[in-house]
Amino acid sequence: MFDLKDKVTLITGGCGLLGIKHAEAILEFGGKVILTDVVSIDEGNKVVDRLERKYNTHSEWITDRVNFEWMDVTNEDSIQNVIDKYNKIDILINNAALNPKVEYCREGGVILNIASDLSIISPDQRIYDGEFKPASYGVAKAGVVNLTKYLSTYLAKKNIRVNSLSPAGVYNNQPDEFVSKFSDLIPMDRMAKPDEYKGAVVFMCSDASSFMTGHNLVIDGGRTIW
């Protein structure tokens, strides 16, 4: 059920910390990945090279099982230029802050939107040491969850499932004081590891979740329970 062989996944924001992990999850289960981002082409290709070395993904599919395409999700022409290069896209992982236009979805497939635990709770401003988490972040992520619910019904008759994943804070060498304060908010007493969302990504993108749509899966170490 978790087999993603020959499934083509387009990941927006694909060169970021979690975008790369999403790509790893897809590759580990036999899928093919198109990384899209607004980073430089050189930087994007470096990410591709790292993934190729890690997974030995060379195959007859175009040149490799993982490719990078420069794409700005706020620009319709930029999106269309990427879409036109590929015969099919089975899975879309909306990891960037904004979402590509829905009219490019083909018949059948999966959309996975990456939201945040802050889509359902407010940030605890005490942990940011004089700075603050802006309202725009939580509002945008809450919008992603609502968009997920909307699209799940809108696209259901086209056999397209739409779900969202809401991770908690991911450890990325943040200052020790911040990590300690953040961990105090979580029953498991730590931040998430970058690899800990890969299983959920595979589950939500594969046939293992074939009857799940419109769902926001929160994986936060129990933070939202408190």
Is 104 in the active site?
Answer: no
Residues 167 and 114 sit within 8 Å (Cβ to Cβ): yes
DSSP three-state, residue 20: helix
- Residues in the chain, overall count: 226
185's CB contacts (< 8 A; 6+ apart) are: 124, 127, 223, 226
| Token pair in block for residue 72 | 């700005």
**Helices marked H in the chain — which ranges?**
17-28, 41-55, 76-83, 135-154, 176-183, 198-205
Read off φ and ψ for residue 123, nearest 5 degrees. Answer: -65, 145
Q: Exactly one of 137, 150, 154, 171 is catalytic; name it.
A: 137
* Cβ-proximal residues to 29 (8 Å cutoff; 6+ apart), any chain: 2, 3, 4, 5, 202, 206
Structural contact between residues 67 and 88, judged by C-beta atoms closer than 8 angstroms: no
Distances (CA, A) of 121 to 66, 117, 141: 35, 6, 11
* Residue 16 Cα distances to 35, 36, 117, 151, angstroms: 10, 10, 18, 25
**Catalytic machinery residues:** 137
